[in-house]
Structure 1
């Protein structure tokens, strides 16, 4: 495979010639780090073997796209060809432009020690090694197989960072000038503050949102920063082999009538409305969203929560309102409508651009224009 030409084309998509990340993207053979991946199908996920079709391998590896490499507890390397795997994606090789963006938010430079959280395929670690040098990069993943496979493939292309298998929320394997996470966190772990050097900088996304949080360590041991105007979403951090099962029992309960009401707004796919989705997740973390259509072409949406709360909404064809059924301890759709009204009244929501204050014990507060939220 003449991968150099493909990598140069990827660099043109993921960065620009004056960026310090241009050379790393151009010089790294991403295909070596992702020899197998999953593609979705009607009955689940199917593994694709790159070496079996070099053309398809090059097209996938050097596209600016995310390649799912693990579904549930099954890694693509271990999947049986021709058999479908069901479950949620649990690891991936993130689209290169987003990896570059997160590293740029980290403000990396020579002499800075980096902790790359969530090794995955090893691509972010490879980019960092190219820029900083192997001895300045530590990469961490909760999955022992991922760590081992990434370390072997990184060595194959000439990079030897310190590869660690550990829980990202536990004590960190050292002190670092930069912590950049390629997995989302529900809050900033206290261990990150302890493992961040004076004047160090951390970058992560917040679980269940499209928010990128950047913060610099403060003299009191906490950190201050902001929610960037940029946006991104990553898989949530996990401590086990898989995520908890989806809320099928709550979904079944949502078939009941519950409390019936009318929303003045039509059904929408909340997770495609990044500001709405992010603010809703800050108000009620853990909501699972589902969408669909009925036999009459009506748009359907469900909101499900681990506490047993649920909402089911339908907008009939040609209508601009929604009939809403809700049950459980909270009225999730009322929260959504409250946010939508605020969006109309103010022309924006306060989540992007919010100031961030992290106390030494990890309490993280977002604030903007009189609005505050604590993770």
Structure 2
């Protein structure tokens, strides 16, 4: 599963909650033994609980990732170093194989495209400047979603966002390639996927086009969107066959608190859907607005005295209260969390407001707030509503006749619309 349709700087941004770890230690392989590396990767995924027995596991043990990704980038420049620098490793170069094998089977994201380049017939070597524009997603998240899809032989699968072709390859292996369609907006990626899936003996239909439009007039038993969207593409819902399942990550403009939309069509044709709070999600789709905390803004949050500081016996919601943070993200709008901070630190880049909360003693918090928005009060107000709604971690997702989408708790006390991106009034027209 890969994130084509990523934002232009996707390879350079801090992962926040949108992609899981991009880097990570790569196992050293003195000898390039792909079969052993595959077995080790599968064993790690099983140990961490992402992967269970079944056909997805069997496919991962069979599929040689070095055929799908015979070249991959490794970053050589340090954080913040300009211009950024990457080396393109090549499987055909014996000296590259141990490091490349470690990248491919570490379980971390694999960087496959720099600055929108063609993937076929590239020369190995160094690239600098610009950014990484496509990557194969963290395997733990990939396999958990593939397990959720419940792939079986004979199913018709639409893979939206071809990228490196990993999801399409697993679908071909499990379901048979005649029923698999993979679509991507980047001709370079679809050309490479066609060639490399063919090298594995797979001949799915590979389409260059808008992923959110899918294939009008067709029906699919499984639809998988491998980039984040602001709402579920209605064209894809219409293409979902009876007893089918669609998965897509959904976020606001903030990358901090994502959700997973799980859409099902019943055997009699009715649509049911829910939005689950999750820890990580795919990178944002092409053209999707994103807000970030600059390094300078992070430092201000961490060090400045703020407009006021108070002691509070009200604890902020826990990181594990993901259902709260998902709701707060959509209901408040414009907030980004600094996950690098040891304690809770949140900023509103649009207007420059921020807050930090640190524990001081037993059941007491030091809360510092700055800017026109009182983010601490906003959070506590939503927390009260969330608890009144029985602290949900998932929400019913409803599709209105006019094309709008609404997420709501079962008791109806907490709801918001997904159809349009939200922003807080104080953020409008302001800068950080």
Please give the range of the TM-score, normalised by the shorter of the 2 chains.
0.7 to 0.9
The residue correspondences of 1:264-279 to structure 2 (distance < 5 A) are 264=312, 274-279=322-327
Q: How has the CA–CA distance of structure 1 residues 17 and 312 changed in structure 2, closer, same or farther, with 3 Å as cutoff?
A: closer
Query: How many pairs does the alignment contain?
Result: 361
TM-score relative to the length of structure 2: 0.69
Secondary structure of the corresponding residue to residue 60 of structure 2: helix
Distance 1:316 1:287 in 2: 18
Q: Does 1:61 align with 2:78?
A: no
The structural deviation recorded for 1:123 is 0.6
Alignment of 1:127-138 (within 5 A): 127-138=170-181
1:259–1:326 CA contact under 8 A, matched in 2: yes
User: d(CA) in 1 for partners of 2:202 and 2:313?
Assistant: 53
In structure 1, stretches of 5+ residues that fail to align are none
Distance in 1 between the 2:123 and 2:367 partners? 43
| Deviation readout 1:314-358 (Å, 9 max, x if unpaired) | 45796831211123xx65454334345667x679742x2333333
* Aligned position for 2:421: none
TM-score by length of 1: 0.78
Q: Assess if the C-alpha contact under 8 Å between 1:115 and 1:138 holds in 2.
A: yes
How much does 1:2 deviate? 2.7
The alpha-carbon deviation at position 278 of structure 1 amounts to: 2.2
Does structure 1 residue 4 correspond to structure 2 residue 35?
yes
Change in CA separation of 1:322 and 1:177 when aligned onto 2, cut-off 3 Å? same
Greater mean alpha carbon deviation, residues 75-84 or residues 94-103: 75-84
1:359 lines up with 2:400 in the alignment: yes
Measure the CA separation in 2 of the matches of 1:230 and 1:289: 15
Listed as ranges, the gaps of 5+ residues in structure 2 are 1-31, 419-432
- Counterparts in 2 of 1:72-91, with a 5 A limit? 73=116, 81-85=125-129, 87=131, 90-91=133-134
Cα deviation for residue 262 of structure 1 reads: 4.5
Query: Which residue of structure 2 aligns with residue 29 of structure 1?
Result: 64
TM-superposed CA distance for 1:127, in Å, is: 0.4
Contact 1:222–1:362, Cα closer than 8 Å, also in 2: no
Describe the SS at the equivalent of 1:164. strand
Q: Deviations over 1:101-136 (max 9, x none)?
A: 212222322222110111111111100000011111
Instruction: Name 1:225's counterpart in structure 2.
Output: 273
Distance 1:372 1:83, change over 3 A: same
2:277–2:323 Cα contact (<8 Å) kept: no
Corresponding residue for 2:54? 19
Looking at structure 2, the residues matched to 271 and 359 of structure 1 have their Cα atoms a distance apart, in angstroms, of 32
2:78 paired with 1:41: yes
User: For 1:46-85, what per-residue CA distance to the aligned partner results, in whole angstroms no more than 9, with x for missing partners?
Assistant: 2341434211111121122222334665688869844444
Change (3 A) 1:190 1:316: closer
Q: CA deviation at 1:197?
A: 2.1
* Maintained 8 Å contact 1:311/1:333: no
